[in-house]
C-alpha cells in the first residue's frame, strides 16, 4: 500500500506507516466513543487486534 509512495525501509516509508497506523487507531477510538461498534464488526479481526502490537514494534526504542 505504501510502496508506490516511498521506498521500503526509508525514513519516509516508516513515517508514512506510523501516520497510517495512528490514523486508523484514532478512527477506531472515535467510532468507539460514538457508539458505532456495529460498524467495527465489518473490520477484519486481524486488523483490529493487530494494530497495537504493530505500533509497539514500529516505534524506535528511543521513545
Within a domain: 11: no
Q: What is the pLDDT of residues 12-27, one digit of tens each?
A: 888 888 898 889 888 8
Rounded CA-CA distance 2/12 in Å is: 10
Instruction: State the pLDDT at residue 35.
Output: 79
Within a domain: 14: no
Rounded CA-CA distance 63/49 in Å is: 23
Q: pTM of this prediction?
A: 0.52
Within a domain: 38: yes
Torsion of CA 2, 30, 53, 56, to 10 degrees: 80
- Is pLDDT of 32 > 60? yes
Q: What is the pLDDT of residues 38-59, one digit of tens each?
A: 776 777 776 666 666 555 555 5
Are 17 and 6 spatial neighbours (Cβ–Cβ below 8 Å)? no
Domain count, the chain: 1
Amino acid at each position: 500500500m505504501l510502496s508506490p509512495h516511498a521506498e521500503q525501509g526509508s525514513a519516509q516509508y516508516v513515517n508514512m506507516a506510523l501516520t497510517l497506523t495512528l490514523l486508523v487507531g484514532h478512527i477506531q477510538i472515535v467510532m468507539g466513543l460514538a457508539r458505532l461498534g456495529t460498524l467495527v464488526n465489518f473490520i477484519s479481526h486481524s486488523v483490529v487486534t493487530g494494530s497495537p502490537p504493530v505500533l509497539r514494534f514500529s516505534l524506535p526504542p528511543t521513545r
